[in-house]
Amino acid sequence: MWQNLPLFPDSASTLAGKVDGLYFYLIGVSVFFTLLIAGLLVVFSLRYRRKSDDDRPEPIEGSIVLELTWTIIPLLLSLVMFGWGAWLFFQEHQAPGGAMDVYVTGKQWMWKIQHPTGQREINELHVPVGRPVRLTMTSEDVIHSFFIPAFRMKKDVVPGRYTEAWFEATEEGTYHLFCAEYCGTKHSQMIGSVTVMSPSAYEAWLDGEPVASDPIAAGAALWEGLRCGTCHTADESRGPSLAGRYGTEVQLDGGKQVLFDEEYIRESILRPRAKISLGYRPLMPTYESQLTGDDLAHLVQYVRSLSEDKTP
């Protein structure tokens, strides 16, 4: 067992190296201050150890200059940490255009994954190297957290809402997938693996997997079946047209704006009155009881695809 002692994780995404860079800066600052304090403790302890019980050292009141020094220098060093961390955090929140969309559902105690082309996996995720992958995630029960250490990526998976994360793998290989938010008895068994493959191997893998259903086609069928098109028409008389809306800001009744994204589509289907588009009356009924989690994901992807048709 002694030969098996890793001290540093694999770095296999575009962000991993950047996070590690910041981590090393933090380690540098920490080691410096730890050695400084420990060194001073040792030096003072040796130099000023009590020589006689009658020692009465002269008191020293303090020093404004020193107080300012050890307030301002740590403050500046930590502002660098803040800025650097925030800059990377921004990048973690901005999935690049053209990312491959993967839907993730967490439930006690497994990960269910669906590829844009319809293939499904459980506790495994196959992705091509060098292509950004955007995850849209939700949970069927309690809070989980999707964690791939090799990608330095983690995001909570929350019931009742969609959360988003993205990564771009840079090294082929197989990596751990963990649930990082405690979710009950088998929390530590809610694990899986991420396999990063060459694009051609990924295509071959896709071809070998059965296609459960084309999510967009399934969404289109739901759209027909639920008669969404009766109100969401091109002339926008009863409800807004949804074509070309994805990724734009929606003006809401009451003056606020909201981004037309997966979470907004999902919320509008389940709780139509939560955010009413400006100029429309709250006519739409809720579809909460009529849709399963999969149906909802399909319908969301279909609504999203209405925008892709316009701007291919």
Of residues 93 through 152, those in contact with another protein by CB under 8 A are 93, 108, 141-143, 145, 147, 149-150, 152
Which 14-43 residues touch another protein, going by CB under 8 A?
15, 18-19, 22-23, 26, 29-30, 33-34, 37-38, 40-41
Q: Which is nearer to another protein, 29 or 243 (CB)?
A: 29
79 touching another protein, by CB under 8 A: yes
Q: Which is nearer to another protein, 176 or 275 (CB)?
A: 176
- Give, as ranges, the residues between 149 and 178 that touch another protein (CB under 8 A): 149-150, 152-156, 158-161, 163, 176, 178
Residue reference for tokens 């250490």:
149
Interface size with another protein, residues (CB under 8 A): 88
DSSP reduced 3-state for 68: helix
What is the Cα–Cα distance from 36 to 32, expressed in whole angstroms?
A: 6
Q: Which of residues 242-271 bind another protein (CB under 8 A)?
A: none
d(CA 210, CA 222): 22
Least distance from another protein to the Cβ atom of residue 225, Å:
25
Residue whose C-alpha is closest to residue 91's, from 180, 184, 6, 153: 153
Residue in the structure block whose two tokens are 């660098």: 80
CA distance 33 to 40: 10
Segment interacting with another protein (CB under 8 A) among 60-68, 232-240, 273-281, 297-305: 60-68
CB of 134 vs another protein, minimal distance in Å? 15
| Whether 302 contacts 216, CB under 8 Å | yes
* 310 vs 308: CA distance, rounded Å: 5
Binding mask 183-222 for another protein (x = CB under 8 A): xxxxxxx---------------------------------
Nearer to another protein, 141 or 308 (CB): 141
C-alpha distances in angstroms, 309 versus 129, 186, 305, 312? Answer: 27, 43, 6, 6
Largest CA distance in the chain: 96
| Position among 17, 96, 182, 285 found at the interface with another protein (CB under 8 A) | 182
Dihedral sign computed on CA atoms, order 31, 37, 40, 42:
negative
Q: Which of 133, 135, 179, 296 binds another protein (CB under 8 A)?
A: 179
In this structure, what token pair is assigned to residue 274? 């939560």
**Cβ-based nearer residue to another protein, 147 or 260:** 147
CA–chain centroid gap for 150, Å, is 14
Nearer to another protein, 137 or 242 (CB): 137
